[in-house]
Amino acid sequence: MTAVAIAPEWVPVCDYADLTPERGVAALIDGDQIALFRLADGSLRAVGNRDPFSGAYVLARGIVGSRGSSPTVASPMLKHVFDLNSGRSFDDATIRLPTYPVRVADGRVQVGWSRA
Amino acid sequence: MVAHRLVSALAERGYPGPITVLAEEDRPAYDRVNLTAWFDAGADELALPPIAADVHLDDPVVSIDRDNQVVRTISGRTVSYDTLVLATGSRPFVPPIDGRDARGCFVYRTIDDLEAIQIWAAGARAGVVIGGGLLGLEAANALQRLGLATSVVEIADRLMPLQVDDGGGQLLRRHVEGLGVRVHTGHPAARVDTDPDGTVSGLTLADGTRIEADLVVFAAGVRPRDELARACGLAVGERGGIVVDDTGRTTDPNVYAIGECARIADQVHALIAPGYAMAEVVADRLTGSPAVFPGADTSTKLKLLGVDVASFGDAFARTPGALDLVYADPVAGVYGKLVVTDDARRLLGGVLVGDASAYPVLRALANSDEPLPERPAELILPERNDSAPRELPDAAQVCSCQNVSKGLLCKAICDDGCTTLPELKATTTAGTACGSCLPLVKQILTTELTRAGVAVSRALCEHFEQSRVELFDIVRIRGIATFSQLIAEHGRGRGCDICKPAVASMLASLGGGHVLDGERAALQDTNDHVLANLQRNGSYSVVPRVPGGEITPQKLIVLGEVAQEFGLYTKITGGQRIDLFGARLEQLPAIWRRLVDAGFESGHAYGKALRTVKSCVGNTWCRFGVQDSVGLAIALELRYRGFRAPHKVKGGVSGCARECAEAQAKDFGVIATETGWNLYVGGNGGFKPRHAELFARDLDVDTLVRYLDRFLMFYVRTADRLQRTASWIEAMDGGIDYLRRVIVDDELGLAAELDAAMQRHVDGYSDEWRAVLDDPDKLRRYVSFVNAPDTPDPSITFVDERGQIRPTRALEVVRG
d(CA B360, CA B370): 15
* A14, A54, A61: residue with CB nearest B529: A61
Tell me which residues of chain A, numbers 14 to 33, contact chain B at a CB-CB cutoff of 8 Å.
14, 18, 20-23, 25-29, 31, 33
What is the rounded radius of gyration, in angstroms, for the C-alpha atoms of chain B?
31
DSSP 8-state class, residue B577: S
Q: Which residues of B touch A56 (CB under 8 A)?
A: 536-538, 795
**How far apart are the C-alpha atoms of B786 and B782, rounded to whole Å?**
10
Nearest CA in chain A to B462: A67
Averaged confidence pLDDT in chain A: 90
> Per CB distance under 8 Å, which residues of B are interface residues toward A?
462-463, 493-497, 499-501, 519, 521-527, 529-530, 534, 536-538, 780-781, 784-788, 791, 793-795, 810
Quickly count helices (H) and strands (E) in chain B. 25, 37
B393 — pLDDT class (breaks 50, 70, 90): confident
Nearest neighbour of B522 by CB, restricted to A20, A50, A56: A20
Whether the per-residue pLDDT at B436 is higher than 80: the answer is: no
Q: A2: distance to nearest CA of chain B, Å?
A: 31
In chain B, what percentage of residues exceed pLDDT 70? 96
Q: How confident is the model at residue B217 (pLDDT cuts 50, 70, 90)?
A: very high
Q: Taking CA B521 as the corner, what is the angle to CA A18 and CA B486, rounded to the nearest 5 degrees?
A: 120
**Phi-psi sector, B132: left (phi>0), alpha (psi -120 to 50), beta:** alpha
Residue B389 predicted with pLDDT over 50: no
More confident residue, B155 or B386: B155
Mean pLDDT of chain B: 88
Q: How near does any CA of chain A get to the CA of B788, in Å?
A: 7
Nearest to B261 by CA among B246, B240, B276: B240
d(CA B730, CA B726): 6
Contact A57/B791, CB-based, under 8 Å? no
DSSP string, B639-658: HHTT-B-SS-EEEEEESSTT
| A61 vs B791: CA distance, rounded Å | 17
Mean pLDDT of B114-131: 92
pLDDT at B449 over 90: no
Is A64 within 8 Å of B493 when comparing Cβ atoms? no
- Cα distance from A103 to chain B (closest Cα, Å)? 16
So what's the pLDDT on residue B581?
98
Residue-level pLDDT at B133: 87
Q: How confident is the model at residue B382 (pLDDT cuts 50, 70, 90)?
A: low
Contacts of B451 by beta carbon, 8 Å cutoff, 6+ apart: none
Extract the runs of DSSP E, i.e. beta strands, from B322-435: 323-329, 334-340, 347-353, 397-399, 404-405
Rounded (10°) angle between helices B111-121 and B134-145: 40
Amino acid B628: pLDDT = 96
Share of chain A above pLDDT 70, in %: 93
Encode pLDDT of B469-527 as tens digits: 889 988 888 888 899 999 998 999 899 999 999 999 999 888 767 888 888 899 999 99
Where would I find the beta strands (DSSP E) of B298-420? 300-304, 307-313, 323-329, 334-340, 347-353, 397-399, 404-405
> What confidence score (pLDDT) does residue A3 get?
46
Reduce the DSSP state of residue B98 to 3 states and report it.
Answer: strand
Q: Give the per-residue pLDDT at B305.
A: 67
Question: Do the Cβ atoms of B169 and B358 come closer than 8 Å?
Answer: no
Question: In the predicted model, what is the mean pLDDT of residues B370-376?
Answer: 75
pLDDT of B385 strictly over 80: no
Compute φ and ψ for B176, nearest 5 degrees.
Answer: -65, -40
Tell me the pLDDT tens digit for each residue of B639-653: 999 999 999 999 999
- Is the Cβ–Cβ distance between B34 and B66 less than 8 Å? no
- Residue B570 and residue B568: Cα distance in Å, rounded? 6
Q: What is the pLDDT of residue B588?
A: 97
What element of type H or E holds B763? Answer: helix B751-764
Strand partners, B210: B204
Rounded to an integer, what distance in angstroms lies between the CA atom of residue B372 and that of residue B352?
18
In one-letter notation, the amino acid at residue B491 is G
* pLDDT in the model for residue B596: 97
Nearest residue on chain A to B537, alpha-carbon basis = A56
Q: Which residue of B has its CA nearest to A13?
A: B787
Average pLDDT over residues B271-296: 87
Whether B794 and A31 lie within 8 Å, measured CB to CB = yes
Own/partner pairs for A55-59, CB < 8 Å, 24+ apart? A55/B810, A56/B536, A56/B537, A56/B538, A56/B795, A57/A26, A57/A33, A57/B538, A57/B793, A57/B795, A58/B526, A58/B534, A58/B538, A59/A24, A59/A35, A59/A97
CB pairs under 8 A between A and B: 98
Q: What's the full length of chain A, in residues?
A: 116
* pLDDT (mean) for B411-437: 79
- The residue type at B88: T
Please give the residue of chain A at the shortest CA–CA distance from B534. Answer: A77
Residues on chain A touching B495 (C-beta within 8 angstroms)? 65-66
User: Are B525 and A76 inside 8 Å of each other by CB?
Assistant: yes
Residues 27-86 of A with CB under 8 A from B: 27-29, 31, 33, 36, 39-40, 50, 54-58, 61-68, 71-72, 74, 76-77, 79, 81
Q: What are phi and psi of B379, to 5 degrees?
A: -65, -30
Contacts with A90 from chain B: Cβ below 8 Å: none
Amino acid identity for residue B87 in this structure: A
Find the residue in B nearest to A25 (Cα).
B786
Give the model's pLDDT for residue B687: 64
Highest mean pLDDT among A19-28, B33-42, B391-400: A19-28
CB neighbourhood size of B135 (10 A) = 23
Residues 6+ apart with CB under 8 A from B151: B126, B127, B128, B129, B181, B182, B183, B184, B203, B211, B213
Q: Greater confidence, B567 or B396?
A: B567
For B496, the closest of A61, A67, A76 (CB atoms) is: A67
More confident residue, B243 or B418: B243
Indicate which of A11, A20, A22, A37 best probes the interface with B, i.e. most B CBs within 10 Å of its own CB.
A22
* Chain B neighbors of A36, CB-CB under 8 A: 786
- Residue B816: per-residue pLDDT: 38
Q: In chain B, which residues have their Cβ closer than 8 Å to the Cβ of A50?
A: 795
Q: A62 and B463 in contact by Cβ < 8 A?
A: no
Q: What is the mean pLDDT of residues B675-702?
A: 91
Strand runs labelled E in B131-214: 149-154, 182-185, 189-194, 200-205, 210-212
Q: Is the pLDDT of residue B375 over 80?
A: no
Q: Is the pLDDT of residue B388 over 60?
A: no
pLDDT computed for residue B386 by the predictor: 45
Flag if A28 and B529 touch (Cβ within 8 Å): no
Distance from CA of A26 to the nearest CA of B (A): 5
Nearest CB to A63; choose among B500, B788, B791: B500
Give B408's strand partners: none
In this structure, are strands B693-699 and B798-801 parallel, antiparallel, or unpaired?
unpaired
What pLDDT is attached to residue B812? Answer: 66
Distance CA A28, CA B608 (A): 32
- Find, in chain A, the residue whose alpha carbon is nearest to that of B461: A67
Radius of gyration of chain A, Cα coordinates, nearest whole angstrom? 14
DSSP B690: B
**Residue in chain A lying closest to B789 (CA):** A27
What local confidence, expressed as pLDDT, does residue B456 receive? Answer: 55
The pLDDT, as a whole number, for residue B209 is 92
pLDDT at position B170 is 86
Q: Using the predicted structure, report yes or no on whether residue B770 has a pLDDT greater than 50.
A: yes
Across B288-297, B414-423, B447-456, least confident range:
B447-456
Mutate which of B785, B793, B798, B812 to test chain A, going by most A C-beta atoms within 10 A? B785
Residue range B692-719: mean pLDDT, rounded: 95
Determine what percent of chain B is predicted with pLDDT higher than 90: 56
- For B423-455, b/e burial (b = at least 16 CB within 10 A) is ebbebbbbbbbbbbbbbbbbbbbebbbeeeeee
